[in-house]
Amino acid sequence: MFDLHVVHCVTNITTTAADLGWTENGSATQWNVEVGLPGFTPGTGAEVVAVTGTTDNPWNATGLTASTAYDFYVQADCGGGDFSTWVGPFTFTTACDAYNIPWTEGFESITTAGEIPNCMAVTGDFTTGTSPQTYNRDARTGANYLYTRWSADDWFFTVGVNLTAGESYDFSYWFVTDGNSGWLEISLWVGAAQDVISMTDSLNGVVDATNTDYVQLTGTYAAPSTGVYYFGIHVVANISPMYITFDDLMIDFSTSVSNVNTGSNINIYPNPTNNIIYITNAQNSTIYVYNILGKIVISIDNADKFNTIDMSSYAQGTYIVKIINNKDIITRKINLIK
């Protein structure tokens, strides 16, 4: 009998399976592997899945549950009835499964302030609360809520949801500010992954919000193809305000026949473009064009109904066009190809 010293790796993680690997420092060619929920003790029958005498390394563990943390242990079969001690635990988490519509989130599943629910993601200072705090940080319903703070350029990303081509969906949330000025943008987005660069479509937004009671913001999205999509909340603020709070998020089939964003009649085309961007129905708006670093490269005040923007002097790449009309905003990513 001897001890097994394991260098482990977990690869090919899916919603229900994972390849569990290790480095054998002895001469064993067969192993026992047990997988269980965090804190389980191997050899006691508490495992979720297990294998005895496998010659596979890595070994493919199947029958797991999506978005769940697991521990696994490995034991070498030394032959002649001798076994090494169990080595572990080694921890991994299965991938998140996409959710079906309708989806709601009130943050009531969290047990500790600061915890982000499973399968969601944030950038910046987004966090959660479980009891009332200063600056209107309190739940709209239930006890828990999401919030962020001053000097923000922060994102919250929902779980992945299954959408069907041609169907329209509403993404909504309720928010309340501290009453201070400086909330430069509060917006809704959708994209293909939980990261900023993948948030390609702005659905709706407000600027300069100062509401001290909860109000609801809704955007409508028509899925161009069937697949998994992620929705996002984007908050931009200067140093003046303190906190902004969110609760009662929902993604559901649309109940309206047109986009609630007043910028829905604004057209920005072509995309991609070689040199010229045309923007129509943007009269009396302010138009900004940003490069990928967030620097304003073009700005137009009091835009006309029909606007021509010449990009011929700018380098090839991705640019952001933002149009502010009263307190509504519409944002689009434009690819400039030379």
CATH code of the domain containing 30: 2.60.40.10
Identify whether residues 272 and 320 lie together within a single domain.
Answer: yes
Question: Based on the number of CB atoms within 10 Å of its own CB, is 82 exposed (0-12), middle (13-18) or buried (19 or more)?
Answer: exposed
* pLDDT reported for residue 263: 42
Identify whether residues 51 and 70 lie together within a single domain.
Answer: yes
Provide the domain limits for residue 237. Answer: 103-253
253, 286, 307 — which closes off a domain? 253
* pLDDT reported for residue 259: 35
Query: Per the domain annotation, does 292 fall within a domain?
Result: yes
Phi, psi (degrees; rounded to nearest 5) at 240 = -75, -45
* pLDDT reported for residue 2: 52
Identify whether residues 61 and 180 lie together within a single domain.
Answer: no
Which structure tokens are listed for 234?
């984007």
* pLDDT reported for residue 260: 33
93, 125, 149 — which closes off a domain? 93
Counting the structural domains of the chain, the total is: 3
Query: Per the domain annotation, does 276 fall within a domain?
Result: yes
Identify whether residues 66 and 192 lie together within a single domain.
Answer: no
Decide: pTM greater than 0.75: no
* pLDDT reported for residue 32: 95
Which CATH number fits the domain that encloses residue 218? Answer: 2.60.120.200
Other Cβ atoms closer than 10 A to 173: 24
* pLDDT reported for residue 152: 96
Query: Per the domain annotation, does 1 fall within a domain?
Result: no
Identify whether residues 148 and 242 lie together within a single domain.
Answer: yes
Query: Per the domain annotation, does 258 fall within a domain?
Result: no
* pLDDT reported for residue 5: 53
Determine contact, residues 71/36, Cβ cutoff 8 Å. Answer: yes
Task: Name 324's bridge partners.
Answer: 286, 329
Identify whether residues 150 and 89 lie together within a single domain.
Answer: no
- How far is Cα 67 from Cα 118, in angstroms, rounded to an integer? 7
Identify whether residues 237 and 281 lie together within a single domain.
Answer: no
Which structure tokens are listed for 290?
């940003």
- How far is Cα 236 from Cα 187, in angstroms, rounded to an integer? 9
70, 93, 116 — which closes off a domain? 93
Which structure tokens are listed for 77?
């079969």
* pLDDT reported for residue 145: 98
* pLDDT reported for residue 320: 85
Q: What is the mean pLDDT of each run of 10 residues along the chain (338 residues)?
A: 63 94 86 96 95 95 94 90 90 93 94 95 97 98 97 97 90 96 94 93 90 92 93 96 97 60 65 86 89 85 92 89 79 81
Kind of pairing between the strands at 296-300 and 286-290: antiparallel
Which CATH number fits the domain that encloses residue 300? Answer: 2.60.40.3080
Question: Based on the number of CB atoms within 10 Å of its own CB, is 150 exposed (0-12), middle (13-18) or buried (19 or more)?
Answer: middle
Query: Per the domain annotation, does 3 fall within a domain?
Result: no
- How far is Cα 321 from Cα 59, in angstroms, rounded to an integer? 49
Q: How far is CA 262 from CA 7, 114, 208, 218, 220, in A?
A: 57, 35, 16, 11, 11
Identify whether residues 145 and 240 lie together within a single domain.
Answer: yes
Identify whether residues 141 and 64 lie together within a single domain.
Answer: no
